[in-house]
């Protein structure tokens, strides 16, 4: 084997070791170091946007003990999962809730498990494949967002009962029902809107490869 062949073979081995490609890593959107860094950056930016949205008071209508309204921060987590993949969605929800608890409440609740519960929303939405640019998958995106929120609500209830020790009826009345009554309209209506706005922003302000 010549020196050139040895060099090419070693370079190929280095590239393959740095960017291992497996179906799972491809599904998670973390096939290479660049993608991993991109996911982390998107998650941090998304978490900061989540914190900003949480700081903005949103009006809601109270019907008995059930609040009705919109929570844009939930749709943001789902949108990032749809656009950048499940890991980005999971980290956005987790870091976003962590920042929100620290800055707005001054404490970390439920051993940060509430952040993980919200991150599940972004993770489940990120599993799906969507044609957001052409608007052909918006109904699918809304459906996956609703499913993801269902898992988030279930995990939140489990955490409240078994980790925080809250009474079951109190968890249902003050955690589970508000998440569903506020969250379902939010993720069903706003997630496709946020995803379309992101695509428009990218097309409008990001130079294409042809240029």
Sequence-separated (6 or more) residues with CB below 8 Å from residue 56? 72
Domain containing 78: what range?
Answer: 21-205
Domain CATH for 88: 1.10.1760.20
- Residue at 15 is within a domain: no
Judge whether 151 lies within some domain.
Answer: yes
Paired strand residues for 61: 68
Enter the tokens of residue 89: 């969605």
In the chain, the N- to C-terminal Cα span, in Å, equals 42
Q: What is the pTM (predicted TM-score) of this model?
A: 0.86
Question: pLDDT (tens digit, 9 = 90+) per residue, 32-76?
Answer: 999 999 999 999 999 999 999 999 998 888 777 788 999 999 999
Tell me the pLDDT tens digit for each residue of 116-132: 999 999 999 999 999 88
Is residue 189 one of the residues assigned to a domain?
yes
């Amino acid at each position: 084997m010549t020196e050139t062949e040895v060099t090419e073979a070693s370079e190929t081995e280095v590239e393959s070791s740095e960017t291992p490609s497996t179906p799972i890593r491809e599904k998670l959107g973390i096939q290479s170091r660049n993608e991993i860094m991109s996911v982390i950056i998107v998650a941090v930016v998304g978490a900061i946007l989540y914190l900003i949205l949480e700081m903005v008071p949103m009006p809601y209508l109270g019907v008995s003990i059930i609040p009705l309204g919109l929570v844009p921060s939930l749709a943001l987590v789902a949108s990032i999962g749809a656009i950048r993949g499940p890991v980005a969605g999971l980290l956005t929800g987790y870091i976003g809730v962590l920042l929100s608890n620290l800055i707005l409440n001054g404490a970390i609740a439920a051993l940060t498990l509430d952040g993980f519960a919200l991150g599940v929303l972004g993770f489940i939405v990120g599993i799906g494949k969507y044609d957001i640019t052409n608007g052909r998958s918006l109904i699918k995106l809304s459906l996956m967002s609703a499913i993801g929120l269902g898992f988030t609500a279930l995990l939140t209830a489990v955490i409240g009962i078994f980790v925080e020790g809250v009474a079951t009826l109190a968890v249902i009345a003050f955690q589970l029902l508000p998440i569903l009554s506020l969250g379902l309209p939010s993720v069903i209506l706003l997630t496709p809107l946020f995803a379309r706005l992101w695509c428009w922003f990218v097309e409008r302000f990001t130079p294409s490869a042809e240029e």
